Structure 1
């Protein structure tokens, strides 16, 4: 093609740079924002900067009457906000695979990717997916008191010991929806990744869970976990869902059998408090604290501890982890969803980042971050932002800028599904 006079042809950056050079440039990007811009250029550039390197952000509390959502970037030490009209009138009930689960007063659930949309090359339809609303069967399994729908609104009625109504009932407000319906929703994979995505929901107070296949089912199905106490956490690990109750007992869901199976021999490590569960390198990990008290001074001290087990072992058991190599663990306190991965610039390896300190002053409303060195056990608490106050941070969310449909071409499935596929194995201490 003949170029107009005085106009130079632009170089073809897509084919003009070798793969090793692109990877070298990608490793030197200063921030997640730079990485996002680099990946959006073209397919070869996107493949050179895998999804796993995206550093997570802290999801800040937001007002249901507003459409502004704040995020704090630890590596860049700053807060930024996005306008997300879909959050208005909804309460968050999960953060999984880079997507938010949002519920309204009708118990209808929306999955939202806050980092997709026009800026990431995806249309509005690619970043919002509707799940089936909760029905009365879900309400009955989740609440110890009768729940009815009256004129489109959910009503909770208190009863006496004989089953009689104490009052005419009260309308369940938005801020109370998680206590009655979906406390937290966990995904098996990003819903736009091109593979089957299952949403598993922990209910308000129940030994049952609810699940649906995203884009397939038009109603939630209830499953009995066979646990003795209410489910406190749900984890997707080794292509299975795990339900963990308040005592630390675990039940495993097998899609082949369509039922839950207890792991009676896998009791939680003795003395471990404030447990959080996650998958890392194909193993189930538990993060908590060992607490020691002084009766003389009326004080206590604690140190964070990590245990791991392989569910494929004939007799799975917890073993102490003292070194996680080049990995970083991101643990949420408000939401149970946690994950591991390699870090972008400014994140420390062999470190645990807690979205809120495990133990802190309940009257201190300044958002704080606890950073723990896995090898030494030492921790430091830093304010997220001196001028930012309010309720607890909701949890971590890792930006998922991927637009579904072509991920298998670049073999990034392991980076898209759940946790990142990082190198290096943790060292276990029995």
Structure 2
């Protein structure tokens, strides 16, 4: 019988197309030849559920992850993420900010990374211990000083990619920065961020959909980003009042449809100093830009959606026995201040069929100020 290490590359590459990431990683650890094959990408990867990016282990400094597929934790040594705050994920890449407010874009599996230019959200005149965040003149809160530790967790609300950098070198990064979640863009080769001109409103979410970035503001006002010489927001609608006050709104490219999701929370503590917010439900709608109307969706069939500070993700749940059909998986809401006291407690999955919320992970396990858990689709190829 021939040795396993002598199998031809064609056969080995075909085998890797059936492997999820933990098995793919084990495959590459067999021998040098298998490791070389594991880095190839001739075949589409096997469908995978997103991983949950957790906190850094204090003793080892390894980054912890939770795999929804097998219900297991994995600790991976990633020096590029030591001491960094995770502020987004997109196409399998993570955005992270260090204590000196330097940002990077990194693929934790291949260890490829890009250093990002300084963020535009704070004054360069600040001293070495605090930073002054820039805010509009009419902002009620006014400017204030933040420590570097505070600014590290607040400067970037969300960050996404237009394309996978391993597939296209002309990708674009878009961030929402500062107290107003102002959009800005960066492309490889740029020396600085370009702030997108638009209304001075606290934006809710961003998405890359059919060749364009879209930005969502309060009131469900939708804007497309004009990326010409001076990027700006162009309103495309719909401008429709919705009853209730959602804690957070999300945009997602769902199987070729642009969907808008509203997340509703309730306070379950009576004392103001002990406010504890929990998610109680979602609305799912599809904006019709031609008719300027929102169509409500009552289910998403065999699919599941994953929301958080990541680019919103969807998967076909029929491929995964442990994935809830017609479900919306969510991590701790990014606009809740209860995390400062209670940690990131608000994780669950909303069943669109019976409108009930269940847990997919233990609550009260994330210490305050380490950042909300982020969904990440493994992308080692």
Alpha-carbon distance between aligned partners in 2 of 1:364 and 1:306, rounded to the nearest angstrom: 28
Q: Normalising to structure 2: TM-score of the pair?
A: 0.75
For residue 176 of structure 1, the aligned residue among 151, 160, 169 is: 151
For the pair 1:128 / 2:113, whether they are aligned, the reply is yes
For the pair 1:398 / 2:372, whether they are aligned, the reply is no
Report the counterpart of residue 62 of structure 1 in structure 2.
Answer: 56
Report the counterpart of residue 193 of structure 2 in structure 1.
Answer: 220
For residue 88 of structure 1, the aligned residue among 82, 89, 97 is: 82
Map 1:333-352 → 2, pairs under 5 A: 335=309, 337-343=311-317, 344-345=319-320, 346-352=322-328
For the pair 1:197 / 2:171, whether they are aligned, the reply is yes
Report the counterpart of residue 240 of structure 1 in structure 2.
Answer: 212
* Number of corresponding residues: 352
Report the counterpart of residue 230 of structure 1 in structure 2.
Answer: 202
1:101: how far off?
1.1
Alpha-carbon distance between aligned partners in 2 of 1:8 and 1:171, rounded to the nearest angstrom: 61
Alignment check: 8 A CA contact 1:38 1:45 kept: no
Alpha-carbon distance between aligned partners in 1 of 2:200 and 2:4, rounded to the nearest angstrom: 70
For the pair 1:354 / 2:324, whether they are aligned, the reply is no
Alignment check: 8 A CA contact 2:101 2:151 kept: no
1:398: how far off?
1.0
Map 1:410-425 → 2, pairs under 5 A: none
1:321: how far off?
1.3
- Local SS of the residue matching 2:152: helix
Unaligned runs of 5+ in 1: 1-5, 118-126, 162-168, 294-299, 403-430
Alpha-carbon distance between aligned partners in 1 of 2:146 and 2:265, rounded to the nearest angstrom: 41
Change (3 A) 1:337 1:65: farther
Alpha-carbon distance between aligned partners in 2 of 1:305 and 1:269, rounded to the nearest angstrom: 10
For residue 251 of structure 2, the aligned residue among 259, 277, 291 is: 277
For residue 319 of structure 1, the aligned residue among 266, 271, 295 is: 295
Larger CA Rg, structure 1 vs 2: 1
Change (3 A) 1:246 1:68: farther
Alpha-carbon distance between aligned partners in 2 of 1:273 and 1:364, rounded to the nearest angstrom: 21
Alpha-carbon distance between aligned partners in 1 of 2:95 and 2:13, rounded to the nearest angstrom: 40
Could you report, residue by residue, the CA deviation over 1:352-389 in whole angstroms, capped at 9, with x for unpaired residues? Answer: 11224899x97765856422222332332244379x44
Alignment check: 8 A CA contact 2:103 2:117 kept: yes
Change (3 A) 1:342 1:37: farther
- Local SS of the residue matching 1:305: strand
Could you report, residue by residue, the CA deviation over 1:105-155 in whole angstroms, capped at 9, with x for unpaired residues? Answer: 4432111111224xxxxxxxxx11111123xxx23xxx6xx652446x653
1:255: how far off?
2.7
Report the counterpart of residue 156 of structure 1 in structure 2.
Answer: 132
Alpha-carbon distance between aligned partners in 2 of 1:244 and 1:18, rounded to the nearest angstrom: 42
Could you report, residue by residue, the CA deviation over 1:76-118 in whole angstroms, capped at 9, with x for unpaired residues? Answer: 112111111112243222222211111234432111111224x
For the pair 1:75 / 2:69, whether they are aligned, the reply is yes
1:7: how far off?
7.7
For residue 240 of structure 2, the aligned residue among 240, 252, 267 is: 267
Q: Normalising to structure 1: TM-score of the pair?
A: 0.68
1:243: how far off?
1.9
Alpha-carbon distance between aligned partners in 1 of 2:115 and 2:40, rounded to the nearest angstrom: 32
- Local SS of the residue matching 1:177: helix
Change (3 A) 1:150 1:389: closer
For residue 305 of structure 1, the aligned residue among 265, 275, 283 is: 283
